[in-house]
Structure 1
């Protein structure tokens, strides 16, 4: 199956190389570049020319969010695979008690702004992925990391919010938990490749 692959923020199509190697030709993976401007409709419009023959769409982190947006736009898509792209920990709505972590969110937002790409940071923060997920009608796999990355603040509180929200997703979205951090595609490309292959083989 042809699969368009979308990288994470600050990444590149080459980020998929370890996963493609682990797939060993099982599917035709076509990595694409995600770049500004970060208006989501225009991001999807730039993917459209590559989407001949109704491909599946795969994404990690930011790419997973875009893959879900693609699935919302294209209910005929055979499969969306989202590798830990469900929002960012600066979104208050993802917490059980937003007021308890308000100061931490502000500090984390300032840290993210120091990484550059403020337009992208704002666009991601304004995107409620769970609202998108509820509008997706095609088959979708959402793989959720269960371990924090080194120095990752608010992980436990954010993950508690995910555990609240994940059961609300519609039945066309299959949720799996990965025994990795957010950097799953780098930490364990074989695991990610297995998830991809097993899901697509059932389509």
Structure 2
């Protein structure tokens, strides 16, 4: 039986979905701008081998709002583990959730394992773009950051009521284009809507988005991987999303950087063939097998 509940994390409530079962527990964490619904298809694929719990990270979905920091996110996760009586769970995260999973592994050597699904801080300097001319790298980074600036300027915006049906239809079309489960995709979209005082807005809000951007820009996973003593698997993408294609050379260089970073550490890593950053949508069954096999190792 699938069960939704709110966990009292002290500062704020954290929403979780328990897929049930008596197998070894596994917690799934979504990426920035998503929520637990984004992990539904992967959770279903993992249910045969694990008791799966998906989580709305703070500022997303049905969880509460609060200042974002890595320590705060890890404390939220610890509250989920304690209150749901999960004995030594594995932690698997995608994108932002993958970074949280990596940090959890660093701090919990007793963990049976953590898996980071393409959770890499974005490039912020030419040094993170090996093989590119430094001048061109700096120019491309500036152009990319302008795109991010425009994206973040629209975070948390109010949606006029007459525009919401069209927006939902565009989300349906996006699900079809990605080959995603349309019902799950729309649940994820609706789960991040906030209805208050007759107005509708989308989570995360502008403040949370700005905090996340700063945190991810400043995070260096190299020392995190070096200090990790529990088993860790890093799954990396091998191709661009459509939105990344105008920056193809930059993202190819950054993929080289994250591979070099993982290869220099003690973690296991895998470059997933024909997978973009949306690998959780593209190849959930394959990821479930990889995760299950790794944790049973």
Normalising by structure 1, we get a TM-score of 0.92
- CA–CA distance in structure 2, aligned partners of residues 35 and 68 of structure 1: 17
Is 2:96 the counterpart of 1:73?
no
Unmatched segments (≥5 aa) in structure 1: none
Distance in 2 (alpha carbons) for counterparts of 1:43 and 1:35? 7
1:26 aligned residue: 49
Q: Number of aligned pairs?
A: 200
Per-residue deviation at 1:6?
0.6
Q: Tell me what 1:53 maps to.
A: 87
Q: Does 1:150 align with 2:257?
A: no
1:134 aligns with 2:247: no
1:58/1:81 contact within 8 Å kept: yes
Q: Give the 3-state SS of the residue equivalent to 2:52 in structure 1.
A: strand
Shift of 1:24: 4.1
Task: Tell me the distance in 2 between the aligned counterparts of 1:5 and 1:161.
Answer: 26
More divergent stretch after superposition (146-155 vs 9-18) = 146-155
The Cα shift of 1:165 comes to: 2.5
Report the equivalent of 1:113.
Answer: 149
Distance 1:28 1:93, change over 3 A: farther
Asked if 1:159 corresponds to 2:243, the answer is no
Question: Which one of 263, 271, 278 corresponds to residue 177 of structure 1?
Answer: 271
Q: CA RMSD in A?
A: 1.6
Structure 1 window deviating more from structure 2 (157-166 vs 178-187): it is 157-166
Deviating 4+ runs (over 6 angstroms)? none
The runs of 5 or more residues in structure 2 that have no matched partner are 1-23, 60-66, 153-208
Q: Which has the larger radius of gyration?
A: 2
- Aligned residue for 1:151, secondary structure, equals helix
Q: Secondary structure at the match of 1:147?
A: coil
1:168–1:18 distance in 2 versus 1, CA, 3 Å: same
Q: Contact between 1:91 and 1:125, CA under 8 Å: does it hold in 2?
A: no
Q: Does structure 2 conserve the Cα–Cα contact (< 8 Å) formed by 1:90 and 1:108?
A: no
Give the C-alpha shift of residue 34 in structure 1: 1.3
Q: Contact 1:112–1:121 at 8 Å: present in 2 too?
A: no
TM (norm. structure 2) is: 0.64
Structure number with greater CO (CA < 8 Å, separation at least 6) is 1
Partner SS, residue 155 of structure 1: helix
